[in-house]
Amino acid sequence: MATKTTNNSTKVVGKILSVVHKLIEYFGRWFYLLTTYYTGRPEPLPPADNPIILMKSLTALSIMIRLKKLSSESVVKAYIDRIRKIQPVLNCLAEDRFEEALEEAREYDRILNSSNAPSIEELEKEKPFFGVPFTTKDCIAIKGMKQTAGLVLRKDTRAEEDAEVIRLLRKAGAIPLATTNVSELAMWWETSNYLYGTTRNPYNTCHIVGGSSGGEGCLQAAAGAPFGIGSDIGGSIRMPCFFNGIFGHKPSKGIVSNHGQYPCPHCEEQYKLLAIGPMCRYAGDLKPILKIIAGENASKLNLDEKVDISKLKFYYMEDDGGQYLVSPVSKDIKEAMNKVIWYLTWNHKVKVEKVQIKKMKKSLALWLANMTSPEGKDFAYELSNRKKRINIFWEFIKWATGTGEHTLIALITAAFEAFGIKYNSEERSKLLQETRDLNEEFRDMLGKNGVFLYPTHPTPAPLHHEPLLKAFNFSYTAIINCLGLPATACPLGFSNGLPIGIQVVAGLYQDHLTLAVAEELERDFGGWVMPNTKTEQPGE
């Protein structure tokens, strides 16, 4: 009887909190809208001056360079020019290596035009990305470049070696072009820090780009590189892809090496959450990128296996079941989901089954339990650049007086964690067991030919700083990290001018299924769309 009374009391408190949260969201949005009205209108992007190069897919550019239809130098130069034009509007860059990239491109062209140049077949097999530039988020190491993770204390930190994923891409012939902006220590879903500032959405600069791979998602959407690399511990690839209308893939756990990513995990649970993956404009480019960055593990994924969409089992949920302190899924996102279901039903004659997985309502609690750091290694420790735990109270005072080095949300995160679940607590053990139970439920449901459709995020991109009022909306992506399953973010059009979409999830190591569905949805729903641009006047 006492347990039943306690449960009822918890539900009442939860409902009250939910109502209060909705009121805060409602009035807070009006506040941010008014702020935006006074701080300036959305700014359009400069036009893409070289569409012959900038609008091509990675796959197409690779072929054209191998066939000498385009030089590597011309491709690299086109993207450098593009980045230089969009950077003042979007602020998506951390650091560039333009001169080094141009020199590497010229060397590739010399090799290709030499008397002993490798054959087209050799290049396709050994260096499939020969001469093609790419970008990556600041958290992923490129030798000699800054690796700050958006932390002021790391402003002069330079990587001593390439991250494993960068090494593999270089080996495949790709040329690193620049690093992109992130949230402070990659732990928030708006990209903003005190080193590089705030990144702005290319579809409406008054709105966010997501995080932590937000600079990368933004740059890709604005046609600033053929492809990019992000990392995802709670949605940091998929949310920026969702907010910026591009494709992104979080691979199955353990497939892509995390070596060279900062911050690196402190425990096994965190390591399983973290995944490095591709971000790009065209769904067909995800698979070749994943093949390269997976290294020897690519053989586990059956990426060359042909997928018959009509033979797959499809399941979906429109929302998480009503999690407290999480925004309801918007009407436009639900309608986009229903259009996908209708398309699959009528064009591929498959039954798309609606399911109600009760544990999804505990997504946030499960992720927080898996994310909990060992004692002394929490976020307050990370904010000191792993020297000691910061004094959170003192840092709040410094922030309030404009003398601090940390963003408000970073300090709130550190304070929240200080009162959260403890690493060796019984509560955490129970939640970890619930995670394993949920994993079994998904394994039984999906098998080797099942696909799960789920919202990537409950709303389109909020206004800048508005995520403070919707802090836990990332739970839609975070729960998939807990399961370690592959998930592909797919754009599905727009809501009031801002991109929307869903994530496609499959069983462990069944990445080829989500990638195949992404390509199918791109064919029917159009995929990436170039953001609005302005026609430049003489003298601009």
Taking residue 144's Cβ as centre, other Cβ atoms within 10 Å add up to 12
Amino acid at 356: Q
Phi and psi angles of residue 521, each rounded to the nearest 5 degrees, phi first: -70, -35
Which residue type is seen at 139?
A: C
Q: For 153-173, give the DSSP string.
A: GGTT-B-SS--HHHHHHHHTT
Active site residues: 137, 212, 236
| Of 58, 47, 95, nearest in space to 215 by CA | 95
Could you tell me the pTM of the whole model? 0.95
Q: Round to the nearest angstrom and report the end-to-end CA distance of the chain.
A: 74
* Residues lower than pLDDT 50 in the chain: 535-540
By the 8 A CB rule, do 241 and 527 touch? no
In 3D space, the residue among 202, 177, 146, 214 whose CA is nearest the CA of residue 79 turns out to be 177
H helices of 40-161, in order, are 51-54, 58-66, 72-90, 98-113, 120-126
Token code pair at residue 258? 């995390």
Work out the number of other CB atoms within 10 angstroms of the CB of residue 404.
18
Question: CA 512 from chain center: how many Å?
Answer: 19
239: nearest Cα among 188, 315, 184, 302: 188
Give residue-wise pLDDT tens across range 314-356. 999 999 999 999 999 999 999 999 999 999 999 999 999 999 9
User: What single-letter amino acid sits at 319?
Assistant: D
Q: What per-residue confidence (pLDDT) applies to 34?
A: 81
User: Does residue 212 have a cis bond before it (omega within 30 degrees)?
Assistant: yes
What distances in angstroms separate CA 421 from CA 185, 219, 484, one per listed residue? 20, 36, 21
CA gap 14, 8 in Å, rounded: 10
Cα Rg for the chain, rounded, in angstroms? Answer: 23
Structure token digits, residue 538: 């003489």
CA distance 444 to 450: 10
Q: What is the pLDDT of residue 40?
A: 75
Following DSSP, what letter does each residue of 490-522 receive, concatenated? EEEEEETTEEEEEEEEESTT-HHHHHHHHHHHH
